[in-house]
């Protein structure tokens, strides 16, 4: 079992799957630091991502959907057989190396959720973005709780993970502000028919 009794993930093969909701989006995956392209795929598709500390972004687009960017951050790998040196004693030097190189980190599969263009109503827009915000909080909660349980672990601190969540929620809020609402259909007014003269 991983830290805190959580189940261990499968061994990392250096490849993740980028999916989308709805499926069939076109995604360009780049490194956030310099914009270097990693892959261009149709979802669902596999993206090679060797262990590192690099943050990558998946920019996705689809028919009648808003362009959406998902940030993919490397996380500590709790798979069996991955050794994490402790940042004390004889492990201090080894720990510094793995922190710098990301050799004990991995990337997880990701699903990019693309909002519709346009929304049928303001209520539909608000409900869609509220649901996504709740889902993002739920997805972030286990890692934040794990970091709080082991503040001396060689992983991102709870404060860093909370900052990442705040950044993602802020990006979602900006997308909501840019979302459009379907214009209501206005029936043309019928002109009164003048009475026929006899």
- Is the residue at 190 inside a domain? no
Contacts with 194 (C-beta within 8 Å, 6 or more apart), sequence order: none
Which pLDDT tens digit goes with each residue over 6-40? Answer: 788 999 999 999 999 999 999 999 999 999 999 99
Which pLDDT tens digit goes with each residue over 44-77? Answer: 999 999 999 999 999 999 999 999 999 999 998 9
| Partners of 106 in the β-ladder | 75
Asked whether 130 and 136 are in contact (CB, 8 A), the reply is: no
Asked whether 45 and 27 are in contact (CB, 8 A), the reply is: yes
Confidence (pLDDT) at 162 = 97
- For the chain, helix, strand, coil in percent to 5 are 35, 25, 45
- Is the residue at 192 inside a domain? no
- Is the residue at 194 inside a domain? no
Which pLDDT tens digit goes with each residue over 139-188? Answer: 999 999 988 987 666 578 999 999 999 999 999 999 999 999 998 766 67
- Is the residue at 72 inside a domain? yes
**What's the whole-model pTM score?**
0.85
- Is the residue at 186 inside a domain? no
- Is the residue at 184 inside a domain? no
Confidence (pLDDT) at 100 = 81
Confidence (pLDDT) at 36 = 97
- Split at pLDDT 50, 70, 90, the class of 3 is low
Domain residue limits at 18: 3-178
Name the domain count of the chain: 1
Q: What gap in Å lies between CA 160 and CA 170, rounded to an integer?
A: 15
């Amino acid at each position: 079992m991983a830290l805190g009794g959580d189940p261990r993930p499968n061994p990392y093969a250096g490849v993740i799957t980028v999916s989308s909701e709805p499926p069939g989006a076109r995604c360009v995956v780049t490194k956030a630091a310099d914009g270097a392209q990693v892959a261009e795929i149709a979802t669902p598709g596999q993206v090679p991502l060797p262990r590192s500390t690099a943050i990558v972004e998946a920019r996705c687009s689809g028919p009648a959907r808003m362009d959406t960017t998902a940030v993919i951050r490397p996380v500590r790998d709790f798979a069996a057989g991955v050794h994490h040196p402790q940042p004390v004693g004889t492990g201090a030097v080894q720990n510094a190396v793995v922190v710098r190189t990301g050799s004990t980190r991995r990337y997880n599969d990701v699903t990019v959720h693309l909002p519709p263009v346009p929304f049928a109503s303001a209520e539909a827009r608000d409900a869609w973005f509220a649901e996504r915000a709740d889902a993002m909080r739920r997805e972030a909660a286990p890692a934040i709780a794990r970091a709080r349980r082991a503040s001396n672990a060689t992983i991102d601190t709870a404060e860093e993970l909370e900052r990442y969540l705040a950044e993602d929620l802020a990006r979602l809020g900006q997308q909501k502000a840019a979302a459009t609402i379907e214009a209501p259909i206005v029936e043309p007014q019928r002109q009164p028919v003048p009475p026929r003269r006899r």
